[in-house]
Amino acid sequence: MTMLNERQQLSYIAAQAADARLNVELETEGMTLNIGPQHPATHGTLRIIARLDGEQVVWAEPVAGYMHRGYEKLTEVRSFPQVTTLINRIDWLGSFANEVPFILAAEQLMEIEAPPRAQYIRTILFELSRIANVSLFLGDLGVQMGAITPVFMAFRDREYVLNLIEGATGGRFHPNFDRIGGLKDDLPKGWIAETKQVMKKLRQFCDEIEDLLFGNEIFQSRTRGVGIIPADVAKSYGLSGANLRASGVDWDLRRDQSLPMAWDQADFKVWTHPDGDSWARCWIRLQETREATKIVDQLIDNIPAGPVMAKVPRIIKVPEGEAWVSTENPLGEMGYYVVSKGDLGPFRVKIRSASFNNISITPWVLKGVYVPDIITILASLYFILGDIDR
């Protein structure tokens, strides 16, 4: 070590002290950012608490429960036909799809099966509600990234689908059309021809969205490589639906499960994407909308003749037993575990809704992302608050 004179030593100490002071001044404090409970980007009343270091998220957690309406308790004091009124409102964008698994579970317990015509119409309405649900997602996606036009287009073309649902069921939003043993009514006159036209329009809408949004450079740079979920993590968090398929897992309950529905009569492709990022999730949903229009087109030509209602006693008493039925809803796997004690109403209903599991991955996926990416990742995960909280 070289010998330093006193002056040099003093200047060295002074320099060290200045460095230390500077480090103290530049040290950043953590900041807690609260998003919600009412925020346009959270699709309802989700609240997200994110702890930030500068622009990066260190820790994030969703706070659910702002839309908890106590479904599982309410089903215990309703009779079986009354429950469908409630469960329509779980995932409010694809209402008809919510009824189907519950009705199927009740039918399983009663050991009856809907006639084939009812099964076909159920499947068609199920896919229509999927289109109504996902088309709004495609429009909403643009809004999260600053593009207002797609949402206008989505609302424009979604109205046609809602008109179809209203024409068949009488309810624009909450059809409440399913009955135990079939459907309330048959299809109205002229509905089939109109449906074909609307499906053409919807395919055009998908093309438009693909050109306008998915081909956009800003959209791609904000979604590609952002929020990557590997397949094993997705599986361990219990993701389902398009979020799981976007991680490369080929899993679709419509194809993998045999239910008394008409999906096995249609030829459709289950799309998967190997990337697992936000872009993949959005792209999978776009392809699913297209596949849904194709399913409707195939089924609508082959609806068998016959009644739409099986023989069911006037006062419905479901025999004692337990049944679990889940279907591939627009948001993912939705299932009902129905326990009946032979009364007018169910003894206990456990609702497994897709969004609750889909949102549970947010602490994992939001770790380390930048603040603007929170919004795009949440948008691409696609949840509905009623489906989370129930």
Would you state the structure tokens that stand for residue 320, as one six-digit string? 């004692």
| DSSP reduced 3-state for 248 | coil
Q: CA 35, CA 162: separation in Å to the nearest integer?
A: 32
Q: Which is nearer to other proteins, 154 or 323 (CB)?
A: 154
Which sign does the torsion angle of CA 44, 206, 330, 369 carry? negative
**Which residues bind to other proteins, rule: CB under 8 A?**
37-38, 40, 44-45, 65-70, 73-74, 77, 85-86, 89, 92-93, 136, 151-152, 155-156, 158-159, 172-174, 385-386
Q: Closer to other proteins at the Cβ: 89 or 294? A: 89
Listed in sequence order, the residues at least 6 apart from 108 whose beta carbon sits closer than 8 Å to its beta carbon are 323, 325
Give the closest residue to 158 by CA, choosing from 177, 176, 133: 133
- Shortest distance, position 360 Cβ to other proteins, whole Å: 19
CB closer to other proteins out of 37 and 238: 37
Torsion, Cα of 283, 288, 290, 293 (10° steps): -160
Give the list of residues 6+ apart from residue 52 with CB closer than 8 angstroms, or none: 30, 31, 32, 33, 58, 371
Q: Are 203 and 290 contacting, i.e. CB atoms less than 8 angstroms apart? A: yes
Minimum separation from the CB atom of position 179 to other proteins (A): 18
Residue where the block lists tokens 């499906």: 199
Query: In angstroms, what is the minimal distance from the CB of 343 to other proteins?
Result: 17
Q: Which is nearer to other proteins, 12 or 152 (CB)?
A: 152
Query: Which CB, 75 or 119, lies closer to other proteins?
Result: 75
Q: Report the length, in residues, of the chain.
A: 390
Pick the closer one to other proteins by CB: 69 or 341: 69
Tokens coding 179? 């009955």
Q: How far is the CB of 275 from other proteins (least distance, A)?
A: 30
User: DSSP string spanning 38-97?
Assistant: SBGGGTBS-EEEEEEETTEEEEEEEE--TT---HHHHGGGS-HHHHHHHHTTSSTTSHHH
Q: Which is nearer to other proteins, 37 or 363 (CB)?
A: 37
For residue 333, CA distances in Å to 156, 248, 387 come to 28, 16, 11
* Rounded least distance, CB 241 to other proteins, Å: 19
Complex with other proteins: residue 156 or 196, whichever CB lies closer: 156
Shortest Å distance, C-beta 132 to other proteins: 10
**CB of residue 157 to other proteins, shortest distance in Å:** 10
The SS3 call for residue 348 is strand
CB of 299 to other proteins, least distance (A): 26
One-letter amino acid for residue 230 of the chain: P
